[in-house]
Each structure stands twice: as C-alpha cells, then as structure tokens.
Chains A and B, each alone.
Chain A
Amino acid sequence: MLNLLERFKKLQRAPKAYKKLMKRKRITNKVTASLKKRRAKETRLKAYGITAISISFLFLATLLINIVGNGYTAFFQTQIKLPIEFSENLVENDNYRKIIRNSLEEIFPDVEGRRDKKDLGNLISNGSPYVLADYIKENPEYIGKKAELWVPASSVIDMFIKGNISADADESRRKINDKQISWLNKLESSDRIKKAFNTYFFTSGDSRDPEMAGILGSFVGSLLVIISCMIVALPLGVMTAIYLEEFAPKNRLTEFIEVNIKNLAAVPSIVFGLLGLSVYLQLFGVPRSAPLAGGLTLALMALPVIVIATRTSIDAIPQSIRDGAMAVGASKLQTTVHHVLPLAMPGIMTGTILSVARVLGETAPLLMIGMVAFIVDIPQGFLDASTALPVQIYLWSDSPEMGFAEKTSAAIIVLLLFLITANALAVYLRKKFEIRW
C-alpha cells in the first residue's frame, strides 16, 4: 500500500520528457519485437512468388522435354535393304507384294512353313509395295532388272530397333518373336538394316500403318483452313477496327459493338463449332470435313483477336498525323487509307500472325464440323475432306498402336515449331517496325 503511494508520487514528480521517453521506448520495443515477424512475412511472400513461378517453369520444362524426348525418334525410321527383282510380269500385274516376298526368300532361303513365311513378311512394312510402285513409276528402266533397295521396316520392327520393345521380355508377351529377332540379327550383320531420315513422315498423309503415316495431309489441311479463315477474318477485322477507331460516333450502337467483340473473344471455341455445324453445314450446305467450313468457323474466333490488335495499333498513332492530313485537304477516308492504315500496318501484321498461331492450334471446333476422320489423301482444294495438324495429333493419340505414340509427339514438335516461328516472327516485326511517337 505504501509502496504504491510512493510510486504514484514519484510519477507525479517525473518530468514530462521522461514520460514521453518511456512511451517511445515502449513503442520501439513493440516495433522491434514485431519486426522479425514482419520480415518473415516479407520473405514468405517472396518465396510464394518464386515457388509459383518455378513450378510453372518446371511444368513447361517437363512437358517440352517429355515431348521432344518421345518424339524425336519418329524423325528416323528403320529401313531394310532388299535385293529386288522387278520381273516384268509381276510389275505389269502390280503384284509388288510378291516381288518383296521373292526377295525375302532370296535372303532367307531356309525359311519354311506358312507361319514363318508370314512372320518373315511382317518384318517389312505393309506400305513397301507402294514404295516399289512409286520407284518403278519414276524409274521405268528398272523393269526386268534387279536393284538393291531400302524399304521401310514394319512399325513393330522399328520399335524393336529403337529399343522400345525389349528383347528380354517373355516371347509370348512381346509382339516380335525369337525367330524374327534372329532374322533381324542376320540382316544387321550383313548391313541390311539402317536408321534413315523418315521422309514419309513429311511427305504422306495418314495411314493405318504407323511407319507410313505422315503429317503432310493434315498440314495441307491446316494451311487451307488458315487461308480460308484469314481471307474472311482479316479484311473484316481490319475494317471493323478502322470503323470503331476512326469513324464511329460515340453512341449506343458503337458501345454495343465494342462489348460484343469483347464477349466474342471469350466465347468458348466449342460454341463456335456448334455454330459452324448448324449454320455452315446444315443451313448453307458446306461439305462436312471441308477446310472451308473449318476456316469459316475459325474466322469467327480470329476476328476479335484481329480487331483488338488493329485497334491498339491505330490507337497509338498520334492525332497530329490525322490533323496534318486533314489540313492539306485530305478527306476522312483519304486520311485513313493513306496515313493511318500504313502506320498501323506493323501492328496489324503482328496481330494477324498471332491470330494465325491461335487458329493453327485450335482443335475443338474442327471436331464439331467433322474434320476428324481417317483421311489418307492429301486435300487438293477447299472442299476436299481433310483434317488439321492438331486434329491429327488428337487422332494419333487415340491410336492403340505403339508406333503412333512417337508419331504423336513428333507431330506436336512440328506444331510447336510452327507456333514458335509465328510468335518469333510477330516479336521480330514488332521490334523492327515499332514506332515510338
């Protein structure tokens, strides 16, 4: 009790400065005590950011490494050298199958029995007769003569040579039997097996045989789709953008168009596919699976991208350019066509390339309009049935054959290369022609 009274008196006597000092000290203590926690929070926030970025990086790296690792082998193909005798009557009857059988018998004269002969024939690709037929078409002087020719091995053999099928597994559980392995060893010891660049992958259409399947058909399909898409979307998009930036009065209609375009950019691609199906195919009677239908459908998706890109680049042009043109008597249209448009061109080009990249990778709407079919022939025009590169990837990824797995990855590599080229081109154009006002 006495103690408390004394302290009270002491406090009363204490100068104001002392009180202030005490208060400051209390605050400082509190702040110092909390500082550690606050700094920890800082570090934590930074760490979260770095972790998030590195996980995205990690995923990207895994994806690329995985696909390149699985896919690059598809650019090479196992081929077998056969002594081919183009006897006249067999060539005339188009019986190239028999020619191959004969040449196999020549290398392996001691193979007897239907089963073994069939297994022997299975070393060679089903597509080889066509390879020989093409060869004779180009070199008719070989009819009746003998030639040593490289023909593609079948996919199973290709997989075995590439090490995707292990010889250690139990014979009943692998697709290649012990006899076939011994034949392969014999071929290898006489230098009749090589791994060559897979030209078929780049020069042929789809095939049931993985070793003969190529991306040319789907690539041409993609090209036709992009051409028909851009013929529609580019002029429409640029004109829309010019109207909105240069001519449009500020009214309800303009605002409505603007909102509309923004919303169109975010409509799921599959909805455009539904539109393509019910309007282009059913109403206008565009043939199913035609690149024209695909292009027109994707044009709806490319349109907002082009409009937005064009508007941004027109927007960046200073008013003084327009005023200058107007001052020397140019009309509004002349100002736009002679001055604004040329200056906006780099931006429009960049936007167009980016929208081409977007269209090239698009798959879902094409499934809707039937561009997802097994098509061997390379499309010749806008109305031929065809697929597109990403659709081909989807189709191959669904195939059960082992040989198509590497083909899928290889097609993805090709697709990604195109996309990277397109984006790099866009960046280059932007850098090269960029005007800083």
Chain B
Amino acid sequence: MTTETIFKSKESYARKRIERWATGMLLTSACISIAITALIILSVLFESIQFFEKVPLFDFLFGLEWSPQTALRADQAGSSGSFGAVPVFMGTMLITIVAMSIATPFGIYSAIYLSEYASRKFRSRVKPILEILAGIPTVVYGYFAVTTIAPAMRGFGSAIGLDISSESALTTGLVMGIMIIPFILSLSDDVINSVPNSLRDASLALGSTKAETVTKVVLPTAFPGIVSAVLLGVSRAVGETMIVVMAAGLAANLTINPLESVTTVTVQIVTLLVGDQEFDSPKTLAAFALGLSLFVVTLILNIIALKIVKKYKEQYA
C-alpha cells in the first residue's frame, strides 16, 4: 500500500472526523468562559436597567442618602426609598484605603526581605506559613474581627481617649489588610525575583550597598509589577464580602473618619438579597445595580493590572 491509499482509506477518514469533532468540543468548552462573563454582564445589567427605570442613574451615582429599607412600605406615599449610593461607595473606599495602607507596606517589605535578604532555608519555611493566611476562609477572619479585634480596638481606643465604634472602618480594614498581605507579598515577590540579576550585580559593583541596590535599582525596575499587585489587592479589598458583612456596619454613614462605622457595597448587596424577596422591588434591584458597579470597578482594575504585568513581562522576559 502506498501512503496515498492509507490516507484515503476509511480508517483515516474516521480518524480525521473524530479529530475535528474533538477539537470542536475543546473549543466549545474554552468558549464557555466567555459565555460565563457574558452571562454575568447580561444578568446583572438586565436587573440594573430595571432598577434604573425606577431610580434615575444620576440619583444613584450622586445621591447622598442611602436608605433602601423604606421601600418596603409600598402603600406609603413616596415609598421609593432613597438610593443615593455615595455613602456606600465612600464606605467601601474608606475600608479599602485602611486595608491597603496596611497590606501594601507589609506585603512589599516582607517580599523585599524574603527575596533579597532571607536565606533560602528561611524563605522556604516562612513563605508557606504566610500563605496559610491567604488560605484561611474570610468567614474566619470576619469572626475573628468581631470577637477579638473589635473589642481589643475598643479597649485600646478608650485607653487613649478615643471613641472607636465596635464596627469601625479601622477594625474591618485592619483585618482585611492582613488578609491581603500574602496576596501582595506573593505577587511582588514574583516581580522582584524576575528583575534580572545583572542589574543587581552592576549596582553592587559600583559600590552601592544592598539597601541602595534594592531601593534605587530593584524597586524602580519592579515598580510596574508592584503597582499591578497593589491594584489587584485593591480589587480584592473592594469585592471582599464576609469580613465586612460580619465586622462592618449596616447603616450608611457619609464619613471619612475611620473610627466610625461605615457600610460597603458588598454588605448592602448581602443585606438586600438575603432572605425572601420579590424580584422586582427597587430594593432587590438596587443590589444588582451595586453589583454592576462592583463588577465594573474590579474589571477595570484587573484589566489595568494585567496590562501592566504583560508590558513588564515583555520588557524583561
């Protein structure tokens, strides 16, 4: 048999058909990820549009008062409740700022120490232990925040003459910050490690100390990567739910004082949707509008972060 006859044989034909069929299957499953994203956007968008038919977009984005609960009394005049999301957004921002101002320095300094100073042995022992922090479910952090950190902070506050609310943004942000440390740590550890050694050697050869090499050569080189790590950290802090549901407040206070209680987007989504609800009341739909804003913000943060990482990789690969 010549090769030509083999290729024309029935067996070969069947083989090609299976091949094509399998490739099609694989492509379909790969496309499902796109379908999921589309489904998220469509479902959340659909409910949000219904919401914005009842509450104008402008009122939602720039209104200063958030009290969706009044919408329950449908028989009352002016029963629409107020859906100004600014206090909710501000609360989320406040907690995120507190969390990031803890997670960023702690994460980066730990990463610097582990990748530049620590011995191999120290690193291989310490890193997995720190990664335990990342593996602890957030509900555990929430419980710990409520039962231990909040009373401790309150006690500390009264000892130095400050009135710290037991649901303060400070407590919540603190615990959330610690949750995010290992996240920032491992991302910035990666970028610091991918800075080529030739740069370090050149700097050391010119007589600079190790610290100078780190702060003047390694960190500036790794800066885009670190920025993207921080952005991803912010996106986690914004979307974090259980810690804030358990440890932050429910009332929407418009304040920038971290000692007071504030509420967040995720807390509001949970409180609006847990329990029985009608699907077409503005109260329920408001949760989807909040969800949409959450999705958009985190998506933008992620896209920027991924772009930076990609650019950075191209530069030093």
- Chain B residues with Cβ under 8 A from A270's Cβ? 239, 241, 266, 269-270, 291, 294
Q: Do A278 and B47 have beta carbons less than 8 Å apart? A: yes
Q: Do B33 and A261 have beta carbons less than 8 Å apart? A: yes
Quick check: is B74 within 8 A (CB to CB) of the other chain? no
Q: Which of B18, B29, B295 has the most CB of A within 10 A?
A: B29
Q: Do B25 and A239 have beta carbons less than 8 Å apart? A: yes
- Chain B residues with Cβ under 8 A from A269's Cβ? 239, 241
How far does the alpha carbon of A51 sit from the alpha carbon of B39 in the complex, in Å? 45
Q: Do A257 and B31 have beta carbons less than 8 Å apart? A: yes
Given contacts A45-B214, A248-B30, contact A266 B232 (CB under 8 A): yes
Q: Do B106 and A52 have beta carbons less than 8 Å apart? A: yes
Quick check: is B136 within 8 A (CB to CB) of the other chain? yes
> Which single residue of chain A is at the shortest CB-CB distance from B108?
A52
Q: Which of B44, B47, B137 has the most CB of A within 10 A?
A: B137
Quick check: is A183 within 8 A (CB to CB) of the other chain? no
Given contacts A264-B37, A269-B239, contact A363 B135 (CB under 8 A): no
- Chain A residues with Cβ under 8 A from B270's Cβ? 270, 364, 367-368
Quick check: is A173 within 8 A (CB to CB) of the other chain? no
Q: Do A242 and B34 have beta carbons less than 8 Å apart? A: no
- Chain B residues with Cβ under 8 A from A364's Cβ? 138, 241-242, 245, 266, 270
- Chain B residues with Cβ under 8 A from A372's Cβ? 274
Quick check: is A121 within 8 A (CB to CB) of the other chain? no
Quick check: is A347 within 8 A (CB to CB) of the other chain? no
How far does the alpha carbon of A405 sit from the alpha carbon of B143 in the complex, in Å? 10
Given contacts A240-B30, A368-B273, contact A363 B113 (CB under 8 A): no
- Chain A residues with Cβ under 8 A from B142's Cβ? 394, 397
> Which single residue of chain A is at the shortest CB-CB distance from B141?
A63
Quick check: is B168 within 8 A (CB to CB) of the other chain? no
Q: Do B18 and A333 have beta carbons less than 8 Å apart? A: yes
Would you give the 0/1 interface string for A237-281, flagging 1 where the beta carbon is closer than 8 Å to chain B?
001101110011000000011011111101111111011011100
How many residues of B are in contact with the other chain, CB < 8 A? 84
Q: Do A415 and B30 have beta carbons less than 8 Å apart? A: no
CB distance from A92 to the nearest CB of B (A): 40
> Which single residue of chain A is at the shortest CB-CB distance from B35?
A260
How far does the alpha carbon of A331 sit from the alpha carbon of B13 in the complex, in Å? 12
13 A-B pairs with CB atoms under 8 Å apart are A38-B212, A41-B209, A45-B215, A52-B109, A55-B106, A239-B26, A239-B30, A257-B30, A270-B294, A357-B135, A364-B138, A367-B270, A368-B274
Quick check: is A133 within 8 A (CB to CB) of the other chain? no
Given contacts A49-B112, A53-B110, contact A266 B298 (CB under 8 A): yes
How far does the alpha carbon of A41 sit from the alpha carbon of B214 in the complex, in Å? 11
Q: Do B212 and A59 have beta carbons less than 8 Å apart? A: no
> Which single residue of chain B is at the shortest CB-CB distance from A274?
B291
Quick check: is B313 within 8 A (CB to CB) of the other chain? no
Quick check: is B315 within 8 A (CB to CB) of the other chain? no
How many residues of A are in contact with the other chain, CB < 8 A? 84
Given contacts A49-B114, A63-B136, A274-B269, contact A307 B33 (CB under 8 A): yes
Given contacts A49-B114, A57-B129, A268-B298, contact A41 B212 (CB under 8 A): yes
> Which single residue of chain A is at the shortest CB-CB distance from B117?
A46
4 nearest A-B pairs in the assembled complex, by CB-CB distance = A268-B239, A49-B113, A361-B137, A364-B241
Q: Do B140 and A63 have beta carbons less than 8 Å apart? A: yes
Quick check: is A423 within 8 A (CB to CB) of the other chain? yes
Selected from B40, B178, B210, the residue in CB contact (under 8 A) with A267 is B40
Given contacts A257-B30, A364-B241, contact A271 B295 (CB under 8 A): yes
Selected from A48, A361, A405, A409, the residue in CB contact (under 8 A) with B139 is A361
How far does the alpha carbon of A278 sit from the alpha carbon of B45 in the complex, in Å? 11
Q: Which of B46, B132, B240, B306 has the most CB of A within 10 A?
A: B132
- Chain A residues with Cβ under 8 A from B107's Cβ? 52
Quick check: is A95 within 8 A (CB to CB) of the other chain? no
Given A46-B113, A266-B302, A333-B18, 6 further pairs, Cβ under 8 A: A56-B130, A67-B144, A256-B34, A262-B302, A307-B33, A363-B139
CB distance from B52 to the nearest CB of A (A): 16
Q: Do B139 and A390 have beta carbons less than 8 Å apart? A: yes
Q: Do B126 and A274 have beta carbons less than 8 Å apart? A: no
Given contacts A45-B112, A53-B126, contact A332 B19 (CB under 8 A): yes
Selected from A244, A363, A391, the residue in CB contact (under 8 A) with B138 is A363
Quick check: is A66 within 8 A (CB to CB) of the other chain? yes
